[in-house]
Structure 1
């Protein structure tokens, strides 16, 4: 568990996960002189962190959630639009902190290209996995297999899994893929 000192406060992100931030932080302005600008990073977050229905958050939804977090007194959808379009590129630390909390990334994502690169890689992998799962869920044969497997006894499910593992390993070896350890 994380200990907090008197200058830290616990905030809750959009998914309810606790995140800690400096309560008495000055309203210092943060300028991003990295190889990628603030607008690009913010737009990547919008694209990579979808709403529960899979669609992209709107500027208004993000502004409302950031205001509700109480990390920022005021932030509007038009200000977020300006940040996303490069019209404004010098937000206050409080604005960055609020946006970071919403998207569940560290504030350093916006100012450190190495941190942004690492997080972007993780977000891309997560997005690919989400798309793979959605594709599987829409496949009627895969759903039928899952439904039938759910009706089997535990022993029957183990036998089906063993058979699936054999077929999976065969297909991987045919494609030249690496066969995973059991």
Structure 2
């Protein structure tokens, strides 16, 4: 799939959108210590289905593209779980924009630490920055991190 920043990009499918949610960390209020970071896709699907109050088989069917017609109630439960607008699951500009933002969060969650080339690419692509602009933005974030770390140290 082309990136969402490209004018002729293919819009994300419902399957794409569900898979992004499956890859994102589960909101902390819906996890127990044993499920904080489920490793396998199966464990993640089970944890999401349980937290959202939907069946695991339905979530798997949506994730695999075997179903593409969830009920409004299913979309609302998933939207509530991830605190996104239910329009995320529909076609249209808002759903595509939310998808684009969640993909950025996904990239940031995968990278997490350090100034890496992947983080620079994610910033450049998401915010439509030049290479120099992405480098400058990351340097500013590193300075902010360092300032906050100084303020959090015990005196």
Which category describes the TM-score, using the shorter chain as reference length? 0.5 to 0.7
Larger relative strand fraction: 1
CA–CA separation in structure 1 for the residues paired with 2:83 and 2:91: 16
Residue of 26, 37, 46 corresponding to 2:22 = 46
Q: Measured at CA, do residues 127 and 84 of structure 1 come closer, stay the same or move farther in structure 2, by a change above 3 Å?
A: closer
Q: Which residue of 2 aligns with 1:117?
A: 96
Cα drift, residue 96 of structure 1: 0.7
| Aligned pairs (5 A) from 1:121-136 | 121-135=100-114
Residue of 76, 79, 97 corresponding to 1:97 = 76
Cα drift, residue 64 of structure 1: 0.8
Cα drift, residue 79 of structure 1: 1.2
TM-score by length of 1: 0.46
CA RMSD of aligned residues (A): 3.0
Say whether the 8 Å CA contact 1:59–1:78 is kept in structure 2. no
Residues 121-168 of structure 1 show CA distances to partners (whole Å, capped at 9, x for unaligned) of 2223323433443347xxxxxxxxxxxxxxxxxxxxxxxxxxxxxxxx
Residues 16-72 of structure 1 show CA distances to partners (whole Å, capped at 9, x for unaligned) of xxxxxxxxxxxxxxxxxx94432221112222x2244385662211111112xxxxx
Q: Which residue of 1 aligns with 2:86?
A: 107
* 2:51 paired with 1:65: yes
Say whether the 8 Å CA contact 2:45–2:59 is kept in structure 1. yes
Report SS of the residue matched to 2:69: coil
CA–CA separation in structure 1 for the residues paired with 2:98 and 2:77: 17
Cα drift, residue 78 of structure 1: 0.9
Larger relative helix fraction: 2
| Aligned pairs (5 A) from 1:1-182 | 35-47=11-23, 49-51=24-26, 52-53=36-37, 55=39, 58-67=44-53, 75-135=54-114, 177-178=132-133
Aligned residues: 102
Larger gyration radius, structure 1 or structure 2: 1
CA–CA separation in structure 1 for the residues paired with 2:37 and 2:113: 12
